[in-house]
Amino acid sequence: YRSLPGRGNAVPSKSGSCNLDVACEEADPWREQVRSVGRYTFESNGSTFLCSGALINNTAEDGTPYFMTAEHCISTPEEATTMVFYWNYQNETCRPLGSPENGSVTDDDLGEQTSSGAVLRARLGNWHQSDQISGKPDLALVEVDDEIPEAYNLYLSGWSRAGTASTESVTIHHPQGHGKRISFDEDPSSITAYGQDSGGDTHLRIGNWELGTTERGSSGGPLYDTDQHVVGVLSGGFAGCGEGDPSEDNDEPDWYGRLAPGFENGDYDGTTFADVLDPQNTGTEILDGRPQSEEADFTPPAEIQDFRITRVNTRQQEVTLRWTATGDDGREGTAQRYDLRFDTTRIESTADFEQAQAVDSSPPPSTAGQTETAVVDASDGLEVGQSYYFAVVAEDDAGNRSPWTAPTRKAVLVKDIEIEEGDVTAGANRSVAETQFVLNETQEVRVELYDLLGRRVRVLLDGKKIQEGFEQVVQFRTNSLSSGPYFLRFRGERFTVTRKIVVVN
């Protein structure tokens, strides 16, 4: 099983480096659930152990700090009284998978946010009788004895008692007792007995994790369905990091005790999970989560209104962006982090934003009103010959996010000067035509229109300094021109280019 013997507050020196920090962008949609998961120690038979678990909501919506974990971790009321909870213990940055620092102990202060003692409220498992997991779903529910300070800004996860297998799954946990991690399974789970590939109905089997893994100390960690409701807790399995590539897991299965049976049965004073989590007997099948306190932070950072591209450097494959810092609450305070992204197509919706490429080098937020600067370059994935659109979101420490903001202009990393050419159709609906060009270095440019005989018809742009990497649009009226071919001459400080166009009236 996946509880971890330990001593006091100590943690082992290393967890697997294929684990994914909750600070990584993949965890962004799960910020609230991340806040509900905690690491804890407990004493049993003279030894100290580590497990994981999650605060969980109830239908009274009264903020009672119920905490769900595995029965093979907490199986008796005596063990519950010895629980010491460690909240928000996690790395502040996303460490690369497979890197040496990924598996090391986080710099976060383990003892900064803690609670002590709990009361066992409900249980459905075999460990208290036979030291075995098989046969029951391995569930335990306690109530944290200490009053948890609102400043911890925790979250009570929602749950589902529907009992169906999840189509995709996420777990959040403390492998080896280390800082909080998150794992993703993109395949349907299956309902089985513990440790079995088929047959039985006490557990949800995760075939393997596509991203992240679990380890000793992850026991009791919650399993979430795609709607972010808890459907089980980790009993055990064979998952871990692979022996070859340190960034990959070993593609082995895990088993999570199903929550649904706990709502129908209980083996601690006959109390079921429904008696505790649905005290008003509403029959609720699915309950959403909620903040620990109604006074919790619901105010997101304000939208960033002046996000702009200020420079494009093709030779260095760099794009410089600037904006004014927004706040933690609206335009006050300091946000927690920026989520800066780019794509080769326009970012016009939240879905577009979530699918865009994230930038790892986003600057830490400054106090509201200060100027922020970010440089995105080849190390972030920029390539010469591509056009790029950017967008940014600010996030506060409660996981609230500002609306995404995108500049109206795009950045173009061009090897050579790019000029659009082709037919120009004039008439009632097209009396004004346009052409676009992009320079690979900043310089003054003059654009002139000539007829087929080489006579200059018009000056369209008279020595204007054009910035490198920005698309420049030149418009001109065509209703006074005869149909036929014309030539556009682009003359810069270090180039001259002529392009043929055709006007059709």
Active site residue 128: no
Q: Is 72 a catalytic residue?
A: yes
Q: Given 17, 157, 169, 219, which residue is catalytic? A: 219
Q: Buried b / exposed e across 441-477, counting CB within 10 Å, b at 16+?
A: bbeebbbbbebeeeeeeeebbeeeebbbbbbbebebe
CA dihedral angle for residue 320, residue 345, residue 461, residue 492, rounded to 10 degrees: 60
Report how far residue 157's alpha carbon sits from residue 34's, in angstroms, rounded to the nearest whole number. Answer: 9
Which one of 72, 173, 174, 229 is the catalytic residue? 72
DSSP 442: -
Determine the Cα angle at 354 with ends 331 and 211, to 5°.
120
Q: What is the Cα–Cα distance from 233 to 71, expressed in whole angstroms?
A: 9
- Which residue type occupies 21? D
Alpha-carbon distance of 210 to 198, in angstroms, equals 21
How many whole angstroms separate alpha carbon 15 and alpha carbon 34? Answer: 19
Could you give the 3-state DSSP secondary structure of residue 25? helix
464: helix, strand or coil: strand
- Answer for the pair 255, 20: CB distance below 8 angstroms, yes or no: no
83 within 8 A of 118, measured Cβ to Cβ? yes
Which position has the token pair 């989520």?
339
Instruction: Report how far residue 362's alpha carbon sits from residue 360's, in angstroms, rounded to the nearest whole number.
Output: 6
Q: Closest Cα to residue 219, out of 6, 87, 69, 17?
A: 69
Q: Contact, 278 vs 286, CB < 8 A? A: no
Which residues share a beta bridge with 484?
Answer: 503
6 pairs with which residues across the strands?
Answer: 48
> What order of strands is seen across the sheet that includes strand 418-419?
418-419, 432-438, 472-477
- Structure token digits, residue 234: 């980790």
Burial 121-140 (b: 16+ CB within 10 A, else e): bbbbbbbbeeeebbebbbbb
Q: How many residues does the chain have?
A: 505
What's the chain's Rg over C-alpha atoms? 30
Burial of 45 (0-12, 13-18, 19+ CB in 10 A): exposed
Among 138, 185, 249, 329, the active-site one is 138
For the annotated catalytic residues, the residue numbers are 72, 138, 219
